[in-house]
Structure 1
Amino acid sequence: MEDLKMNGKEQRKYWLDTMLLIGAPVLEALKRRTLTKTLPVEFHSGRGGFAPLEAFARLACGMAPWLELEGLEGEEEKLRGYYAKLMLEALDAATDPESADVMDFEAEGQPLVDAAFLAHALVRAPKRLASQLNERVRGNVIAALKKTRRTAPSGSNWLLFSAMVEAALYILGDPEYDRMRVGYAVHMFMDWYKGDGVYGDGKDFRWDYYNSFVIQPMLVDVITLFEQDSAHYPQLKPLVMQRARRYATVLERMIAPDGTYPFLGRSIVYRFGAFQLLAQAALQHFLEESLQPAQVRCALTAVIKRIMEFPGNLDENGWLRPGVYGYQPELAESYINTGSLYLCATVFLPLGLLPEDSFWSGENQNWTSRQIAAGENVIRDHAL
């Protein structure tokens, strides 16, 4: 298979090139403060007002660990430094009331969702993003995040959006962050656990990727950030991590030998964002021992290449288009617009590891389904 002809170093370059191919149009437009004017909104145009914040926040959520990385050298470090500066400029453009690209954090509903993805970026890059904001921009970001409190989250993954906003306020040093919103989300999801590494989205279970799009990545990072904030969190954290570790294994096993995967449930046009939790497990080194980092790298590379080599994912100006393989607008729910699609960037979280990390430096290795399909003697799967 083509992906296995590249070694780890070459795969890293491919990942980086792909992330920047997807992300550069968004950040360069924000630098010019022209994102609102240039981001396509013809697709589900009724949602167009939310599109700039969705595109920016979801992209930032995926890029943040790479921007946070210390110890890079050479050309990649030059790129990282450039894009870190660009991201800081974008945060200013998005929250400055005088900016042509000031974004809607105030309307009820959707702004809470994407304020949370932006907040997650700040949590993932506390040194290179959150602590680098000057007082004016920091104040604007805090004010923007607080506007989303007027939305009362439903009994679903939205509770974690509220919790993540508070996590960013904590990272930004705002003494008025709300511990109750964090605690309520954590404890409700403990009640909604369904077994074998999977939570319900609320009290019900649904066949979709929201355990990876939202629930487990945010739950892991929130409980880690606030571990010492409650007597209960240190007891809950091992349980949260055990479940996340199992779900990451399930995700790896869902990747077929050819890099396809089951297209189940809603929001599948977020493409390889479906594997955010697996990517995060690699980034934060909590993969199960039976799962080698290099096989995860090869599996995710296969997924990314299988999608990106299909024509039509991007329009003539480089903006994402709805679909999984090319332009497939009927796959997108009514709440999805062009900006929503940028949640795909969360697959790139392992770029926050240095090239020397075993994720990148390990020899190419078949992933689980490919091992089985090749007749290898693979240890059977088991439930948590």
Structure 2
Amino acid sequence: MPPEDRTLSPYTGYTRAHWEAVADSLLAAVAPYATEDGALYHLPGTHTSWSGRLSDGLEGYARTLLLAAFRRDEKVLERYADGLAAGTAGVWPRIEHRSQPLVEAASIALALRLTRPLLWDRLDDGVRQRAAAWLGDALTAEAWPCNWELFPVTVGGFLQEIGHEPEASRAAIDRGLERIEQWYVGDGWYTDGEGRKFDYYNGWAMHLYPVLHAWLADDADLLELYGGRLDAHLGDYARLFGGDGAPMLQGRSLTYRFATTAPLWLGALTGSTPLSPGETRRLSSGALRYFLDRGAVDDRGLLTLGWHGPDEALLQDYSGPASPYWASKAFLGLLLPPDHEAWTAREEPGPADRGDAVTPVGPPNWLLQSTGSDGLVRLHNHGSEDVRYDPYYTRLAYSTTTEPSPSYDNSVIVGDDASRTDIEPLGVGEGWAASRHTVTEGIRVTSLVVARGAVEVRAHLVAGAAAGTPVRVTGWRPGEGVRSELLSMHGLLDSTGVTEEEATLFVTLARLTADPDPLPLTELVSVKVEGAYEVGVSWASGESARFRFSTSDARSSESSWSVTPL
């Protein structure tokens, strides 16, 4: 690595030279794992994806080719040209409906489009014909109804550019872009398919592919549409990074690690960002350095399956040895010329560097809480869930420093059940967010969080449970260098469960902080429960807020409780 430059980059020390060095190192490290013909990259590891070893080898080729395309190293691209010739001669599996090769075809097509003069235009005509034919199956392959709809769009954009099946290519582009419209919910946010799946796929998929397609096609109208959405999204997205560079530990596919920086660079590349050049690089370099400093790359120079180092708790059934190399998307910033402001401007503070803030995010119904003293960011989740149970979607809160625990941190446990499904957002506002969810049939929990500084007031109303049903409320999982606190204020003082056969309110104070000697929670906030279902919050600063839990029939387990700020 080059020497740090703390004048240009006072927060991270990283410059463009560091990004180039990391890209070169990653590309050099995977080279020994290529097959003799270069068509497959069989990276070491015991965790094989659901699609099998052959598909995993293709994944290794495609995702590292994408890195080579952003790096634009002609010598490295030559070995990928050899692999393309061999792969399309019968080595690679065909692209079929809902198959993993459809994902990898998008990376290959994007790489070929980005490096056309350096790679595609230098290939023999026969290789070009075979490659176009192999990619062409993506135009009619059925995608899973999620971000996969954009893979035929990405392939179609390249094939249309080279004149291969232009009508089918156009149809694939139009079809994919039309399908994602049903998942755009406004203010720069998409769900990743039906339901309320909000996570990093917004940035590294739902925004990345349409914006890059519009930019590469030089389509001003499309870029205005999709670039405008990206611009709106980045205002919220930038708040998901901690002061130490850590992205938020929420959602799936977290092993892609610094792929989280791709939309930041994309905004700078296309002029679709509210962030200054110095802030863009500070956030991006901060995330890259965060992972490199914590063991994301092993002693062979390979990205591991995990977060810091290897960690199977984060993996999905589609994760294979080469999956982490979707982190290649982070190097999109290398498409910016060295004299671009994003590389030459002095780093500027990111949101987590600028002091305490509590920010409502409407579409996912999230409340983001950051503290400038320790750079921690917390995400209060009152509107995102996966169709499957997933601890990285279903907990009440996440942070940039703690991982969800198997013992149900940030949960409400009724009886022995800690499930949180059918999450319904009930609103988000200045300093608060609320939702309701199902624990088990007939039992619903309505939750409210009110936050200020590092302090959280959490209120949970349990409805539909029989009298005497035990209730347990959990807080933050302790992490390295941080302390977790949870203090009962109402409902758990004299009882451990439901007190009557209607609805019971439980209120706690919570805090996650790196402050070694914080003031006691009760000196910072006081809570008063009036009647059965009204919560008053008074901060030491003198500000206060009141909220009412209400329903048409408190005695009915089918009642739909709501939360209203007063």
| TM-score, normalisation: structure 1 | 0.82
Q: 1:338 Cα deviation (Å)?
A: 1.1
- Conserved? CA contact 1:105–1:115, under 8 Å: no
Q: Which has the higher helix share?
A: 1
Give 1:56's aligned residue.
61
The counterpart of 2:83, out of the listed 82, 90, 98, is 90
Query: In 1, Cα distance between the equivalents of 2:200 and 2:136?
Result: 28
Q: 1:157 aligns with which of 147, 156, 164?
A: 147
Match of 1:126 among 113, 116, 138: 116
Q: Which amino acid aligns with 2:101?
A: P
**Which residue pairs with 1:339 in the alignment?**
322
Question: Is 1:295–2:286 an aligned residue pair?
Answer: no
- What amino acid maps onto 1:44 in structure 2? T
Change (3 A) 1:227 1:104: same
Q: Distance in 1 between matches of 2:318 and 2:212?
A: 26
CA-based RMSD of the aligned residues comes to 2.7
Alignment match, 1:73:
none
Partner SS state of residue 90, structure 1 = helix
Matched, 1:355 2:346: no
Of 195, 202, 206 in structure 1, the residue corresponding to residue 197 of structure 2 is 206
> Which amino acid counterpart does residue 102 of structure 2 have in structure 1?
L
Percent of pairs identical after alignment? 25
**How many residues in Structure 1 have an aligned counterpart in Structure 2?**
351
Distance (whole Å) between structure 1 residues aligned to residue 285 and residue 269 of structure 2? 15
Return the structure number with greater strand share.
2
Range with bigger deviation, 113-122 or 128-137: 128-137
User: Which residue number in structure 2 is paired with residue 270 of structure 1?
Assistant: 256
Write the deviation string for residues 230-264 of structure 1: whole angstroms up to 9, x where unpaired. xxxx6554222111112223222211111112111
1:23 to 22, 27, 30: 27
1:293-341 Cα shifts (integer Å, max 9, x gaps): 1221121111111101113x33443332111111112211111101111
For residue 166 of structure 1, the aligned residue among 156, 173, 179 is 156
Give the superposition deviation at 1:59: 2.5
Higher RCO, Cα 8 Å, sep 6+: 1
What secondary structure does 1:194 align onto? strand
- In structure 2, the gaps of 5 or more residues are 356-370, 374-429, 431-566
Alignment partner for residue 245 of structure 2, among 244, 250, 259?
259
Alignment of 1:309 with 2:293, yes or no, is yes
Larger radius of gyration: 2
CA 34–319 in structure 1, closer or farther in 2 if over 3 Å, else same:
farther
Tell me how far apart the structure 1 counterparts of residues 307 and 38 of structure 2 sit (CA, whole Å): 27
- Paired residue for 2:351, among 355, 361, 368? 368
Match in the other structure for 1:5: 6
Corresponding residue SS for 1:15:
helix
Distance 1:96 1:156 in 2: 31
CA gap 1:16/1:276 in 2 versus in 1, 3 angstroms: same
Alpha-carbon separation, structure 1, partners of 2:85 and 2:63? 16
State the Cα distance separating 1:106 from its structure 2 match: 3.6
Alpha-carbon deviations, 1:33-85, whole Å to 9, x = none?
Answer: 36747422521365322112212222233442331xxxxxxxxxxxx332233
Distance 1:12 1:201 in 2: 32
Find the counterpart in structure 2 of residue 181 from structure 1.
172
- TM-score, normalised on structure 2? 0.57
The equivalent residue for 1:249 is 235
Give, in angstroms, the shift of residue 268 of structure 1.
0.7
| Amino acid paired to 1:19 | A
> Structure 1 regions of 5+ residues with no counterpart?
68-79, 229-233, 376-380
1:147-175: per-residue Cα shift (whole Å, max 9, x none)? 34563113221211111111121233314
Distance 2:183 2:247 in 1: 26
Could you tell me whether the CA contact under 8 Å between 1:29 and 1:35 is conserved in 2?
no
Q: Deviations over 1:4-36 (max 9, x none)?
A: 736369521111111222222334544843674
Is the 1:295–1:367 contact (alpha carbons within 8 Å) kept by the matching residues of 2?
yes
